[in-house]
A and B are shown apart, each in its own frame.
Chain A
Amino acid sequence: MKGTTTSRTASFLVAAGTVGIAAALNRACPGQCASCSTCATTLVPLASAAGAVGVSFVGSAFVRSRGLPGVRPSAEEPASGLGDL
């Protein structure tokens, strides 16, 4: 589905920022496990990635619910009959 310019820009920026966080954590990780608990903080980039998707999801749902112009939700897609191919 396609969101508004605002939601798309927000998605873009949050996604880029997520990689920045991941890069910072990658720098902190010593490599071979040194039992330093750095890995515990890797939940942060995962949560951020989920946040990036969430921003897009919430933003898109919001504009759909408001019926703002320029937002074109996809048409219903009938089942193809091909199952779980």
Chain B
Amino acid sequence: MSRLKALKTNRLMRVGGFFVGIVLFYAPFAALIRLSAVVFPTSPAASTISDVHSACLRMPIGWLAQPWMWPTMGGNPLSYLPLIVLPLAAVAAGPMFCGWLCPAGALPEHLGRLVPDRFKFDFKSRVDIVPLRYGFFVGFLFAPFISTSICCSFCNFTHMQNFVSGTFGDASGFAVFTSLGVIAAATWIVPLGLFTKGGRGWCMFLCPAGTTMGLASKLTAKWPWAARIRADHHTCTTCGTCSDVCPMRAIDLEPVDPPAEASSELTPDPVAPVVGASALAINHHLCNECLDCVQACPSGALRFGRPQ
């Protein structure tokens, strides 16, 4: 299979994951919420099946900084999804949820392929994404001390629910769009989606769930049983294909320093490249293990698995 066909197949599978995510999370389907209602009949999820907030991936993270919300969080078993289940999954295999299942992240990425790359802005080449991402994350955690919450108005997960509801005949969700929500939704889809290289500008900068998983993934990337995308620097030709197709802009071609000056954030595999050359560096703060790079690599230098 050619690399182009393999890449297209991988992306087609991820489009399939996008629809699976819709069925799992969003009303009118909300399969995960319905399952939770069956298993935990007394939980709030049992009475709010039409409401995506029962399976919210953002609010429980924000509630960590608000002790007065802990009882609410404890009463809904789905609250543990972004706090325990997904971070643990990210420890084991990286933030695959983001790359394969999250509809809110996938929608602008897949739509963005309709826009030629020459009209897109590549944040990676102009800004340092990681500190901005963690800055927004810390702001998100402490915003409730200023406002009630910035969840919902500034949440693409909610906006996605409104789109799904509208698509399936219930446009009432659009009524909850505040002025701020309209601007946030437009920002999510247009400048940070259609006109951002990779289409995942919102994921890169503004998603607290993705940031949590990215942090868990980065901190444990070198654990011996942690599956991540790995590069073999002996096979890699530094052609740049992987960097070009990465939707999260997580792959750089870095000049190779002597070991004492090696970057702690960009972590090439232990199979060390020749000093003085360029080498692939996979930024595990950002990588969502979508595997597009693995499929697109013409030399087979990338793989998904444990460190060697």
Contact = CB atoms under 8 A, between A and B. Distances in A.
Interface string A12-49: 11111111101111110101110000110010001000
Contact of B143 (A2, A19, A76, A82): A19
Dominant SS at the A interface?
A: helix
A59 B169 CA distance: 48
Interface in B233-256: 238-241, 243-245, 252-255
B183 interface: yes
Interface in B71-104: none
A74 B131 contact: no
Classify chain A's interface size: 35 or more
Contact of B142 (A11, A20, A26, A32): A20
B166 interface: no
A1 B124 contact: yes
A80 B240 contact: yes
A81 B238 CA distance: 14
B139 A19 contact: yes
B270 interface: no
A81 to B, nearest CB: 8
Contacts of A23: 139, 143-144, 146-147, 150
B135 A14 contact: yes
Interface of A: 1-3, 7-9, 11-20, 22-27, 29, 31-33, 38-39, 42, 46, 52-53, 56-57, 60, 72, 74-85
Given A24-B147, A80-B241, 4 more contacts: A19-B138, A19-B140, A60-B127, A79-B240
Interface of B: 4, 7-8, 11, 113, 115-117, 123-128, 130-136, 138-140, 142-144, 146-150, 153-154, 175, 178-180, 183, 187, 205, 238-241, 243-245, 252-255, 257, 263, 265-266, 278, 296
